[in-house]
Amino acid sequence: MRMNLKALSIIVALLTGVAASRADITGNTLADDGDGVITCTTYGFLTLSPGEFQLSVDGIQHYSLDPSWPTGHILGDITTDTETDPSLTLAYEVDNDTGTAWNDYQVQITLNKSFTLSNVSVDNSGWTSVVTAPIQVGSSWIAYIDYKAGIPVPYDPDPLLTGTLDFGYKLSFTGSVTFVEALTPTFVPEPGTWALMACGLIGAFFMRRRSA
């Protein structure tokens, strides 16, 4: 009986320690940085398990007339109540309101401390992803996820017909964190663009022959 009581006391102590080190997010924000290129709302913030959280993001990527705002940046702040290692899963649905179909999409994640990436996913048919692991640049850590097109994400003036890119990833870090995302679509060249490129190449070919 004494052995059972001793074992029980050890189990209680371990469970108490686990509960005390539970990481809870006490504050989080996720919003466009003010350039107007992307608008988003967040919903479905879930605590999956101690120290593991999920945040769903519904966004619209807009066309920018200002060349200094070519991408959609999202600023994020996450505050946890402990220095344990929390994981945050971000799930995105981004509508294409840029005026042109997307055949590539890059996510750049910048944090103010070390982190890891996992569970990188994309739901669009035929799309794949390539991950560049975080590297330290100055006082920040930067990672990239390149989503490669299978079927391009279309644009349509009708909001009900425009395309949506569904993707997500999981990042793990220690303690409070501030992060920045740069979401950059690559556009499918329009037929007119291809024609101009072809004319340029043909012209260069004949100029070269004439000079020879």
- Flag whether 5 is in a domain: no
- Flag whether 12 is in a domain: no
195's tokens: 């024609």
Q: Is the pLDDT of residue 88 over 70?
A: yes
pLDDT at position 65: 83
- Flag whether 138 is in a domain: yes
- Flag whether 15 is in a domain: no
Q: Which domain holds residue 135?
A: 24-199
- Flag whether 205 is in a domain: no
Average the pLDDT over 189-194 and give the result: 55
- Flag whether 210 is in a domain: no
- Flag whether 94 is in a domain: yes
Q: Is the dihedral of CA 118, 119, 122, 127 positive or negative?
A: positive
The count of structural domains within the chain is: 1
Q: Is the pLDDT of residue 35 over 60?
A: yes
pLDDT at position 211: 52
Confidence of residue 39 (pLDDT cuts 50, 70, 90): very high
Residues 6+ apart with CB under 8 A from 51: 22, 23, 84, 85, 86, 87
Residues 6+ apart with CB under 8 A from 8: none
* CB neighbours of residue 39 within 10 Å: 15
Confidence of residue 49 (pLDDT cuts 50, 70, 90): confident
- Flag whether 139 is in a domain: yes
